[in-house]
Amino acid sequence: MSETAARPGPERPSVAPDLSPTLHHISMARDWLAGNYSPLPVVIAHAEGAWVTDVEGRRYLDALAGYSALNFGHLHPTLIAAARAQLERLTLTSRAFHSDRLGPFSHELATLTGKDLVLPMNTGAEAVETAIKTARRWGYEVKGVPDGRARIIAMAGNFHGRTTTIISFSDDPLAREHYGPYTPGFDLVPFGDIAALEAAITDETVAVLLEPVQGEGGVIIPPEGWLRDVRELTRRRNVLMVADEIQSGLGRTGSTFACDLEGVVPDVYVLGKALGGGIVPLSAVVADRDVLGVFTPGSHGSTFGGNPLAAAVGQAVVELLATGEYQERARTLGAVLDSGLRELLGHGVDAVRCRGLWAGIDIDPRLMTGREASHRLLVEGVLVKDTHGSTVRLAPPLVVGEAEVQILLGALGKVLRR
């Protein structure tokens, strides 16, 4: 007899009829969702610009902006118009055929970055994986590293995504534990330490992979001059400099790329998050032909990568960035945010690290955890996310005005000054 007869499902608690809409959705999530997240208790139903509205009609300032996937705010009219027009026309072709959207998008993104070629993917992790493949192929076919020997140097405290290969060079136990065996071929050096990096480079090193500012790490800013030193060192040692600008790029820090702040141009840009305008997943690896030219038909790909809908949104995103308006906003309002946060130093805040409209603040651990601070800010109508125990990350959309920055600062002051 077959044992495949329908098994009874697990006991599902029925929802009490008097549960508030918020509790109803939280209890559904607890019953049906895998437990790989622990969201704050707010259930968002609508959003526009920098503001979201929950299922009870309460409004919150979104000071996380989807980890910078929402740099242009929620429902940016230009991006929504581009997506809507494309939805009516063509959404997916696969790369087996051309679409009339991918060429224009690639042209504009290559122009924005000053590079020759674009390789579109979907999520950030896929773009990082693509950059790893790029560097390894470049190592074997251009640099002449013996096959199978290539090594990539990454930074302690990095975050580059969640695939098995990427977590193999994470040093965060939470991200790694019980996912082995791990992919070999990676070395870690301390972030911001040029001497350690130089010492770690061998003839088999093909790339240095870094975040110009470590976002998930808590908005960790390297010492002044380090990016320039990495650029000089990697050029001298014939190693690719790969900048993961998935979170730091596309306007967040007050320039198009965080590398721009030191006048550095890496060999490879890895882009994602805001590239999809908060509408679709869209990522890309962008580099010159002597690097990205290593790919041949069939050697890499993605069913959805560069699909017409994503390309239409991505092109609209690049056009918004080409105006320079959002970089300028991040610069001027970032200065307001920075000085406001500095006033909290010694009043519940131990450290402030700010680059454009992007800040990590370390809460005095005697006062409360970062999670607790995020909870209290939620009650004050401001959405943020904690990281690494004591740190709270602030990344409001670049469409905020000074009034919203003041609301954020006011809420922080209220929660921390006591």
Ligand X SMILES: *Cc1c(COP(=O)(O)O)cnc(C)c1O
* Residues acting as catalytic residues: 159, 244, 273
> Residue 227 carries which DSSP code?
H
Q: Select the residue interacting with ligand X from 65, 82, 83, 125 (CB under 6 A).
A: 125
> Least distance to ligand X from the beta carbon of 147, Å?
28
| Interface with ligand X, residue 159, by CB under 6 A | yes
Using DSSP bridges, classify how beta strands 151-155 and 205-210 pair: parallel, antiparallel or unpaired: parallel
> Least distance to ligand X from the beta carbon of 27, Å?
27
- d(C-alpha 332, C-alpha 338), whole Å: 10
| Interface with ligand X, residue 227, by CB under 6 A | no
Nearest alpha carbon to residue 347 among 265, 244, 418: 418
| Interface with ligand X, residue 67, by CB under 6 A | yes
Nearest alpha carbon to residue 291 among 160, 132, 146: 132
> Segment contacting ligand X (CB under 6 A): 8-16, 92-100, 240-248, 399-407?
240-248
- What x-and-dash track marks residues 262-301 binding ligand X by CB under 6 A? ----------xx----------------------------
Q: Select the residue interacting with ligand X from 86, 106, 123, 253 (CB under 6 A).
A: 123
Q: Select the residue interacting with ligand X from 62, 211, 267, 362 (CB under 6 A).
A: 211
- The encoded tokens of residue 92 equal 């997916």
Neighbour-count burial for 135-146, b at 16+ CB within 10 Å, e otherwise: bbbbbbeebebe
Residue 331, amino acid: R
> Least distance to ligand X from the beta carbon of 182, Å?
18
> Least distance to ligand X from the beta carbon of 346, Å?
30
* Rounded (10°) CA dihedral 215, 216, 222, 228: -60
> Least distance to ligand X from the beta carbon of 270, Å?
7
Nearer to ligand X by Cβ, of 275 and 368: the residue is: 275
Using DSSP bridges, classify how beta strands 283-287 and 117-121 pair: parallel, antiparallel or unpaired: antiparallel
Using DSSP bridges, classify how beta strands 240-244 and 205-210 pair: parallel, antiparallel or unpaired: parallel
Q: Select the residue interacting with ligand X from 71, 170, 247, 302 (CB under 6 A).
A: 247
Query: Do 197 and 189 meet the contact criterion of CB atoms below 8 Å apart?
Result: yes
| Interface with ligand X, residue 249, by CB under 6 A | no
Handedness of CA 387, 388, 389, 394 (dihedral sign): negative
| Interface with ligand X, residue 120, by CB under 6 A | no
By rule CB under 6 A, what count of residues binds ligand X?
16
Residue with the CB atom nearest ligand X in the bound state? 124
Phi-psi map region of 108: left, alpha, beta (phi>0 left; psi -120 to 50 alpha): alpha
- d(C-alpha 328, C-alpha 334), whole Å: 9
Q: Select the residue interacting with ligand X from 110, 131, 241, 246 (CB under 6 A).
A: 246
> Least distance to ligand X from the beta carbon of 279, Å?
14
Using DSSP bridges, classify how beta strands 391-394 and 359-363 pair: parallel, antiparallel or unpaired: antiparallel
- The encoded tokens of residue 379 equal 């009650």
Q: Tell me the helix, strand and coil percentages in the chain, rounded to 5.
A: 40, 15, 45
Nearer to ligand X by Cβ, of 128 and 294: the residue is: 128
Q: Select the residue interacting with ligand X from 74, 115, 136, 160 (CB under 6 A).
A: 160
> Segment contacting ligand X (CB under 6 A): 37-45, 156-164, 174-182, 309-317?
156-164
Per CB under 6 A, residues contacting ligand X are 67, 123-125, 128, 159-161, 211, 215-216, 244, 246-247, 272-273
